[in-house]
Every structure is written in C-alpha cells, then in structure tokens.
Structure 1
Amino acid sequence: MKKPLIGAFSALLLAGATALAGAAPASASAPTGTAKAAVTVDFAGTVALSNCSGSLVRMPNSVATDPALILTNGHCLETGMPAPGEVIVNQSSSRGFTLLSSTAGRLGTLRANKVVYSAMTDTDVTLYQLNTTYSSIRSRYGISPLTMSASHPLAGASIKVVSGYWKKTYSCNIDGFVYRLKEGGWTFKDAVRYTSSCNTIGGTSGSPVIDTATGQVVAVNNTGNEDGETCTENNPCEVDENGKVTVRQGINYAQETYGIPACFASGNKLDLTLAGCALPRP
C-alpha cells in the first residue's frame, strides 16, 4: 500500500520533489452542438488527512440532512492497519480532516465522531462519519460531496486520482481489473489497475478515483508495486483465476467502491445485512 506521511516525504524527495450541488468536485460544462458534456474534476470535496488523502462522499440515496461521510483507505486508519480478516465497525473517533476548495485551498477542519467501517480484507477502505451534515458543510463552506457510483467501473475509462494530501491530480485510464491483488498478508478482490501515467506516491493513499465521464467516485487509490518484488508490502502482485502470478513494477492500483452503497440504508446507516451487501463482516 502507498506509504502514509513519512514515506510520502521520502518518495517525493526521490522523485525530485515534483511531485450535493454548487461548488462540487466535478461539474458538467455546457455541451457544444451534439457533443457530450465534459466533466471537470477539481479538488472541491477532497480532504487531507494527517498521513493520507480522502474525500467527502455521499451514497446515491443520501440526502442533505444525513451525517456526512469521509472515504479513505483501511490502511490510513489512525489506530493502525486492520489485520487480514479484521473488520472494524462503529468505532469512536475524533479524527480531523482538512477540507479543500476547488483550487486546493484550505477551507476548514471537519471532524469525525466515529469510524463507520474499516477493513483491509477483499478491499482497503475506511469510512468515517462526521459530526455534521452535508447541508451544514454546504452552508458553511460552499462544498458538496462527491457521489459514490453504484456501478462497476469500465475498462478503458478515463479517470483522475485526486490527492488532497499532496494537492495533486493524476490522470490516466483504467487498464483493467485484477482477480486477486496480494500484498503481504492482505488480499484484495477485483482491484483496478491503472495505466502507467497514474504514478501515484506515498500520501496519495485514500484519494478518490473519479470517472471523468460521470464525475463520480468509482474506486479508492491504495497501492502500487514499487520495487518489483513479489507479493510483499508495497509490492503487490496480481493473481489470476488459475493462480498465475504477475508482477508489474511501477504500476499502481485502486480498490473498487461500487459495492459500498448497497451496504448503507437511508440516513447513511451502515447495514451489512442488506440484500446485495458484500462487504466483509466482523
């Protein structure tokens, strides 16, 4: 997985130091003639954590008065990375998040009151519930959440990985999907593989992966093979249905999020027993 904070600064040095409406993170511009409207993706709705990136998100059925949610990685959890097979739900938290404007300016601090869900089994995701609502955030900061897509992403789709930690955007395409992605003791299912231009670094963990055709979140950025090693930490390997292992040094990955909305009832309430919910249970 992409190393948080300390590793992120090292990675940057090694790289040469280059590296619900209104002011939404993605907005459609007016179409010209019969052309399809373009979607502009910016930093509005993204957040910076102390060691990772993240985003203010809503489910397709969320309403303005619901408690707001933050999406990031499981391995960004402040109490440490969940062990293989471990699932954390409804754990108290007071973690702070820096909310960014469309141009990556600091707007203010949002604060969690609990970890709704966190796991690194099958996926790599943490969802925080904030102590405020979408409407309150909109009223105070003029920022609306990104919507999480409930549809499986498409191979070849144009995407942007938007890092609130580094205030940097990576643009590429979905190269394909990985049956199993193994990294150390963790296994992720049906992972997204980027084309090579999304050369994400430490600190980009938890960044939303946004489909530029819809402006919706289709995955959460989480890892990449740094050194060419096989299935070790920071060097995930691909495993196909027949058990064949492939190593792609320098290639980065994300975890799909389309299955998450099926696990949330009205009011942004997590319910892992809902029909269609496939997230691992405690």
Structure 2
Amino acid sequence: MTSRFAGAAQVFAAVGVALAALSGVAPASHAQTASPQSLPADRTAPAAERAAQVDFTGIVALDNCSGSLVRGPRTADTDAALVLTNGHCLETGMPQAGEVLVDRPSTRTFTLLDSSGQRTLGTLRATRIEYATMTDTDVALYRLDTSYARLAERYGTRALRLSPSRPRVGTDIRVVSGYWRRIYSCKIDGIVDRLREAQWTWRDSIRYTSSCDTIGGTSGSPIVDAATGRVVGINNTGNENGERCTLNNPCEIVDGRVTVRPGADYGQQTYQLARCLGRGNDVVLTAKGCTLPRPPAR
C-alpha cells in the first residue's frame, strides 16, 4: 500500500538496511539535505523553535515504517508520550475505508534515534493505539508506557510539537525518515482537495516538490516546517507507476476532475491532531474544532 514497502520494495528496503548495518553508514538519500531557506518565522512558536535546525531528535523507526514522538498544545511533560505514524503502518493491518480505531491495546515497539540518526538511544513500547484511521487522513497515534519527562531524563530527547495551523503552499519542509535515517528536503508544491488510492480517500493532502522523492519505509515520517521545527504533516504515499487511483498510485480529484501525476509524492496534514489532543494527551473527538473522523455510530 502507500508505505511502498510491499513486494519488491520491501526486499529493497531490507537489503538496504542490512547493508547500512554492515557498513555503519545509512543509505544515501535520493535528495541531499539542504540548509533551511529563510522564511518568515512562526510568531506563535517559542524563540528556540524559530529557524529550527531539523535533525533526528524525537524520530523513531518501526519495523516497516517511520514515526516520531509528538506532543500537542495542551500536552504536559508528565503526560504519557505519543508516537505518530500512518494508519496503514498499524501492526494489525490497514483499516478499511470508514474504519476508525480508538483506544485499542498495543505492545508495539519503536526504536528511538539520537539527533544524528546514527545511534540508537533505546526501545520504546506502546500500551495502546490512541487513535488510527485511513479515512480522510492516514494516521495512527500510539500511547507509550512512559512520559515525556522520563524520556528527557533517560535519553536527553524531546518530542516534536504538532502545529495547530494549516501549512501553506511554498513552505520549506523536511521529511524525516527513521526507518531509512534520511532527511528529505523540499517545499510544499500544492494542497490537494481529495487524494484517492484504491478504497481510501484523503482530504487536503500535501503534495511535495520533486526533491522529496520518498521511497518505501518512509511512510509515517513527520513533515516538519523547516522554519519552526513544528510538525505540519505526515508522509504517506506516492504515485509509483502512473496508474489512475489504484494501490500505490493515488490520483488527485479537484472539482470532480481526476489528475494523475506519475512520480508525485504526498503527505497528510496533522493540524487536526493538534486541535483534538486534550489534557492528558487524550484524543477528544468531541472537542471544539476537532474534525478528525469518528467511529461509526452503533
């Protein structure tokens, strides 16, 4: 599916990781990491976040995808930490269209990286799937068995902050993959009204400029605003073969018109998550301003 780790891509990923382990060097990125360009600072962000240097701080690797430690505007240091990845990266399989998972038990583990991406700090463990869906967006949020304060004390790391604002076209971004230990550098090329892939449809998807040529294993990577260091989205798919609206070949739908962009790569916005995270890091689907899909009524 959209992580592009199935079939031949999965074999390629496994070989690449094995070679990297033997050589001690992470596989080279398709796009070199560039210095953040000068953009207006997010004036709502703390001064320390402005003109942020994006690295692997807070980044995790899954067995098949990438992910990140994240926190919302109302998150406290004593709250149980959260890991963000894609809904299609769930260990239980991909949710069906219209399916929303809330508060499901999980013992998923994640590999926490240091800021350079070259060293493993430790293994993190989930207690449950806080929220997951592939309807309107492609997201999974795991709750860990430890707090942000404890992670800072033990590993000297911090979580990335979710931006409560929509990103703009032209924003300089970094797509940070824990699986591949690569940072892709590009800009937001466009916002797509609807993006369809097989049975799933996503809204307000982020399309990248061509230098973010993401590959299998990058699914779940946070999309980071290079100026503020805040997470504005999550990488999830790309059109691999030029097909129309099929698995691994999403198509754009704007005003009922279908457009296929061979080789284009996409992510999903995450401002909804920031607006839905309440006290205690709970996803509150009834909160004012929360537009995340809810479980079907029974």
Tell whether the structures are fold-level matches, with TM greater than 0.5.
Answer: yes
What TM-score results when the alignment is normalised by the length of structure 1? 0.90
Over 3 Å counting, the alpha-carbon distance change for 1:177 and 1:141 in structure 2 is same
State the distance in 1 between where 2:226 and 2:166 align.
15
Deviation, 1:197, is: 0.4
What residue ranges of structure 1 are gaps of 5+ in the alignment?
20-25, 27-35
Instruction: Indicate which of 253, 262, 272 corresponds to 2:266.
Output: 253
The aligned length equals 265
Could you say what secondary structure the match of 2:152 adopts? helix
How far apart are the structure 1 equivalents of 2:265 and 2:50?
29
Report the TM-score when normalising by structure 2: 0.85
| 2:135 equivalent to 1:114 | no
- 2:110 & 2:98 partners in 1: Cα distance? 27
Matched residue, 1:239: 253
Contact 1:5 1:203 in 2 (8 A): no
Deviation of residue 18 (structure 1)?
A: 4.0
3-state SS, counterpart of residue 94 of structure 1: coil
Tell me the equivalent position of 1:140. 154
Match runs of 1:1-282 below 5 Å: 1-4=2-5, 7-10=9-12, 18-19=28-29, 38-104=51-117, 105-240=119-254, 242-282=255-295
CA distance in 2, matches of 1:224, 1:70: 23
Residue deviations 1:245-280 (CA, integer Å, cap 9, x gap) = 111111100000001122121110121111111100
Q: Please name the residue that 1:22 is paired with.
A: none
Sequence identity, in percent?
Answer: 56
User: Which one-letter code corresponds to 1:125 in the other structure?
Assistant: V
SS class of match (1:267): helix
Name the SS of the counterpart of 2:53 in structure 1. strand
* Aligned residues of 1:12 and 1:18 also touching (Cα < 8 A): no
| Structure 2: 5+ residue stretches without partners | 17-26, 30-35, 37-48
Higher strand share: 1
Residue 138 of structure 1: SS of its match in structure 2? helix
Which aligned segments of 4 or more residues in structure 1 are displaced greater than 3 angstroms? 11-14
Give the conservation status (yes or no) of the 8 Å contact 1:183–1:237: yes
CA drift at 1:10: 2.6
Kindly provide the amino acid, as one letter, of the partner of residue 4 in structure 1: F
1:143-179 alpha-carbon deviations (Å, 9 max, x no partner): 0000000000011000000000000110000001000
Q: Quick check: 1:2–1:202 contact (8 Å CA) kept in 2?
A: yes
Q: Per-residue deviation at 1:5? A: 6.7
Q: Is the 8 A contact 2:28 2:182 kept in 1?
A: no
Q: C-alpha distance in 2, partners of 1:134/1:109?
A: 14
